[in-house]
């Protein structure tokens, strides 16, 4: 979120999941129960069986809402559902073309979906993906000329699980951001959500307490049309909560390639806790190493009040979390007025890893924060540590930091598919190696541990710890990935027929313009290129091209296509652009030209005009 330009930048159930669950059980009364979670003081899974209803693309709101006769819309399902009921959304794309109310002005705020009916304690209203299926809520064609929320959750005791939320647009440049999910209700659970390619934060808690954001991913969010600067406001997760709304928790979440911050707690007047979460490569344009024009680029921004001292600031907690390759700080106090707790975190290759810049009552810059059992490696430590309460961290102890302390320092693969229960994937990256001098070097901060003392960093060693795969050899420095993400696709599959007219209920037919080009296996030694439209707005769109090597390795590639009438490429990343009239040529960047047989890489771009499927050619020297 915007900071008024005062930010300082100088300055599985492997052992990880078991450790996390034990810690949560002791600290918050969490009880793992299949895919559900019951948390003391936080919304929980219903223990009473209610009715089950079904919604599907192509359904009808005049139907019975059964498996064989599903409804069509979220709004209709909500009008029927009662506390304890579960609404199952079948797989497919639910396309929205306008909000449920009109814009009163270009700076007004409207909602595509309003979730305003509450469940009850012990009997939430559940809105779940049907098991094994993938419902996508696509808001990219909402045309209202004002600020837009994909989901506006004002109700309480609601549980959203397994949904994908994408493409919430900005349709003018008079405002800051739009939002994927906006929350003012309390005691809700947001679980296993995939939030991406929105022109603003993926998920944003404005008010309400006791909300749990569990095992969610928020990535590739970018606000190109914000009035305070492109990229300034698209955080992965935000919590900017007023006073007297305690108990909001982020747990097991991942944020990457968001143009602003991964997690942002600026202007939060109630305490927030972040646990067991990963945040990387924020502050860049999606899927690129090009800095976002106005993005802040912190992994975890744990507070601050716009650079001004306030007497009613609150303490936040960040623990067992990882930040790497962010364009600015990994862990950032952001001029906070109260010492936050940073326990058992790992910062790697950030700029810097830990920046504890605070502000005193006189307005002076001070170091602030309580730091225990943290690791900083591969980046600048900080220029703002003076005055902090820091001990038992890697920089306080007589240890030599090197790659040998870790099983692997790979920065690829962190967006791997989650485990079956939605928990973080079991990876060896940044786990301590056997014999590491960081094992048992911490201090007891009230969290369970193995051995004689806690380890440093986010991952406690012990039985069941994942071992590195043959391909995960340590790297001296992070490098961009040359393989495609294994997370769900950033854009839905096209439908065979266009929407006949705008509707506030979801349409069973996605975009009238195709979103992806057909692919075929390239011959040995050659390459193939495939195109996808990732986002669109009035007068422009964002595209992604995947380049795949054939049956033999290649040492460079060139992709060409012809622009349609009215199109012009305005920005491109992960490649080198040249154009002549409507002819476009993109060659590989220095780091992604060499591909092994069958391997892929991507480049992205923004352009003016309307999206269309180009005919791509790919050649290799």
Q: Supply the CATH number for residue 596's domain.
A: 2.60.40.290
pLDDT in tens, 391-407: 999 999 999 999 999 99
pLDDT in tens, 483-525: 323 333 333 332 333 233 333 334 433 333 345 555 455 656 6
C-alpha 266/C-alpha 305 separation (Å) is: 6
pLDDT at 35 over 90: no
Tracing tokens 């709304």 back to the chain, one arrives at 245
Q: Which domain holds residue 542?
A: 527-619
The tally of domains found in the chain comes to: 2
The stretch 8-31 carries a mean pLDDT of 38
Is residue 387 a part of any domain in this protein? Answer: yes
Both 217 and 350 in a single domain? yes
Is residue 444 a part of any domain in this protein? Answer: no
- Which candidate, 231, 190, 236, 182, places its Cα nearest to that of 210? 190
pLDDT for res 140: 94
- Which candidate, 367, 385, 281, 356, places its Cα nearest to that of 324? 281
pLDDT for res 447: 82
C-alpha 216/C-alpha 52 separation (Å) is: 24
Q: Exposure pattern of 114-142 as b/e (b: 16+ CB <10 Å)?
A: bbebbbeeebbbbbbbbeeebbbbbbbbb
The answer to whether 383 touches 352, Cβ cutoff 8 Å, is: yes
Is residue 503 a part of any domain in this protein? Answer: no
pLDDT for res 106: 93
Is residue 418 a part of any domain in this protein? Answer: no
Specify which residues 357 forms β-bridges with: 367
Report DSSP state, residue 403: G
pLDDT in tens, 437-454: 999 999 999 888 999 999
Token pair, residue 431, equals 């786990």
Numbers of helices and strands, H then E, in the chain: 2, 45
pLDDT for res 335: 95
Looking up residue 356, the CATH number of its domain turns out to be 2.160.20.10
- Which candidate, 82, 81, 58, places its Cα nearest to that of 70? 58
pLDDT in tens, 574-613: 788 998 999 999 999 776 788 888 888 888 787 889 999 9
pLDDT for res 307: 93
C-alpha 88/C-alpha 27 separation (Å) is: 32
pLDDT in tens, 121-136: 999 999 999 999 999 9
C-alpha 511/C-alpha 169 separation (Å) is: 15
Mean pLDDT, all residues of the chain:
83
pLDDT for res 282: 98
pLDDT for res 598: 85
Is residue 171 a part of any domain in this protein? Answer: yes
Tracing tokens 């960081």 back to the chain, one arrives at 438
Ramachandran quadrant class, 200 (left: phi over 0; alpha: psi -120 to 50; beta: rest) = left
Please give the share of the chain, as a percent, with pLDDT higher than 70: 80
Active-site residue set: 301
pLDDT at 23 over 50: no
- Which candidate, 554, 477, 469, 10, places its Cα nearest to that of 289? 477
Q: 10 Å Cβ neighbour count for 473?
A: 11
pTM more than 0.75: no
Both 55 and 204 in a single domain? yes
The answer to whether 267 touches 240, Cβ cutoff 8 Å, is: yes
Residue at a domain's end among 352, 383, 405: 405
Token pair, residue 589, equals 């960047």
pLDDT for res 345: 98
Which band of pLDDT confidence, cut at 50, 70 and 90, is reported for residue 182? very high
Token pair, residue 494, equals 């096209």
C-alpha 135/C-alpha 277 separation (Å) is: 24
Residue at a domain's end among 364, 384, 405: 405
Both 134 and 276 in a single domain? yes
pLDDT in tens, 325-365: 999 999 999 999 999 999 999 999 999 999 999 999 999 99
pLDDT for res 524: 60
Question: Please, what sign has the CA dihedral across residues 427, 429, 432, 435?
Answer: positive
Q: Where are the beta strands (DSSP E) in 81-228?
A: 86-89, 92-95, 109-115, 125-129, 135-138, 147-153, 158-161, 164-166, 179-183, 189-191, 194-196, 203-205, 212-214, 217-219
Q: 10 Å Cβ neighbour count for 582?
A: 12
C-alpha 306/C-alpha 263 separation (Å) is: 16
CA 494 to chain centre: 24
Is residue 447 a part of any domain in this protein? Answer: no
Measured in degrees and rounded to the nearest 5, phi and psi for residue 80 equal -100, -40
Residue at a domain's end among 355, 389, 405: 405
Is residue 12 a part of any domain in this protein? Answer: no
Please give the share of the chain, as a percent, with pLDDT higher than 90: 69
Name the 3-class secondary structure at 618. strand
Write the CA distances from 273 to 31, 263, 414, 546, integer angstroms: 18, 11, 22, 38
Is residue 421 a part of any domain in this protein? Answer: no
């Amino acid at each position: 979120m915007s900071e008024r330009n005062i930010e300082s930048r100088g300055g599985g159930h492997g052992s990880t999941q078991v450790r996390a669950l034990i810690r949560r059980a002791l600290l918050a009364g969490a009880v793992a129960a299949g895919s559900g979670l019951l948390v003391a003081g936080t919304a929980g899974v219903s223990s009473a069986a209610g009715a089950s209803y079904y919604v599907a693309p192509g359904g009808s709101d005049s139907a019975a809402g059964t498996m064989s006769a599903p409804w069509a819309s979220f709004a209709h399902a909500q009008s029927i559902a009662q506390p304890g009921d579960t609404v199952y959304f079948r797989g497919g794309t639910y396309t929205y073309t306008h909000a449920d109310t009109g814009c009163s002005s270009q700076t007004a705020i409207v909602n595509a979906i309003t979730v305003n009916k509450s469940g009850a304690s012990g009997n939430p209203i559940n809105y779940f993906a049907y098991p094994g299926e993938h419902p996508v809520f696509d808001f990219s064609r909402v045309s209202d000329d004002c600020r837009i929320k994909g989901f506006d959750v004002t109700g309480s005791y609601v549980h959203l699980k397994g949904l994908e939320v994408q493409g919430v647009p900005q349709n003018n440049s008079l405002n800051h951001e739009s939002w994927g999910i906006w929350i003012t209700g309390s005691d809700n659970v947001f679980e296993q959500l995939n939030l991406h390619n929105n022109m603003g934060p993926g998920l944003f808690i404005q008010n309400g307490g006791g909300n749990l954001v569990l095992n969610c991913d928020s990535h590739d969010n970018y606000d190109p049309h914000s009035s305070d600067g492109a990229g300034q406001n698209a955080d992965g997760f935000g919590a900017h909560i007023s006073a007297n709304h305690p108990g909001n928790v982020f747990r097991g979440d991942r944020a990457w390639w968001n143009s602003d911050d991964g997690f942002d707690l600026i202007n939060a007047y109630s305490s927030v806790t972040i646990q067991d979460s990963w945040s990387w490569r924020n502050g860049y344009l999606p899927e690129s190493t090009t800095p976002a024009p106005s993005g802040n680029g912190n992994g975890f921004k744990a507070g601050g009040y716009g650079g001004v001292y306030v007497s009613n600031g609150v303490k936040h907690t960040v623990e067992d979390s990882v930040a790497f390759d962010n364009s600015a700080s990994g862990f950032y106090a952001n001029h906070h007025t109260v010492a936050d707790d940073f326990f058992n975190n790992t910062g790697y290759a950030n700029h810097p890893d830990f920046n504890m810049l605070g502000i005193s009552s006189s307005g002076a810059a001070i170091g602030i924060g309580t730091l225990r059992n943290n690791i900083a490696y591969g980046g600048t430590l900080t220029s703002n540590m003076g005055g902090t309460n820091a001990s038992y961290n890697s920089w306080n102890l007589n240890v030599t930091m090197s790659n040998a302390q870790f099983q692997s320092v790979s920065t690829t693969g962190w967006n791997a598919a989650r485990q079956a229960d939605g928990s973080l994937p079991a990876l060896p990256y940044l786990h301590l190696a056997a014999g590491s001098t960081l094992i048992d070097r911490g201090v007891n901060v009230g969290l369970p541990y193995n051995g004689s003392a806690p380890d440093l960093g986010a991952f406690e060693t012990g039985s069941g710890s994942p071992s590195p795969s043959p391909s995960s050899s340590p790297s001296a420095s992070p490098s961009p990935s040359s393989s495609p993400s294994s997370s769900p696709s950033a854009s839905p599959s096209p439908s065979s027929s266009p929407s006949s007219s705008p509707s506030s209920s979801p349409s069973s037919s996605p975009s009238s313009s195709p979103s992806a080009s057909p692919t075929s296996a390239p011959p040995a030694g050659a390459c193939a290129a495939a195109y996808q439209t990732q986002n669109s707005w009035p007068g422009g769109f964002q595209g992604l091209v995947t380049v795949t090597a054939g049956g033999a390795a290649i040492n460079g590639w060139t992709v060409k296509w012809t622009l349609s009438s009215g199109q012009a490429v305005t920005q491109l990343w992960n490649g080198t652009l040249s154009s002549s009239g409507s002819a476009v040529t993109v060659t590989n960047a220095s780091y992604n030209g060499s591909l092994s047989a069958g391997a892929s890489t991507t480049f992205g771009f923004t352009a003016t005009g309307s999206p269309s499927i180009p005919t791509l050619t790919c050649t290799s020297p």
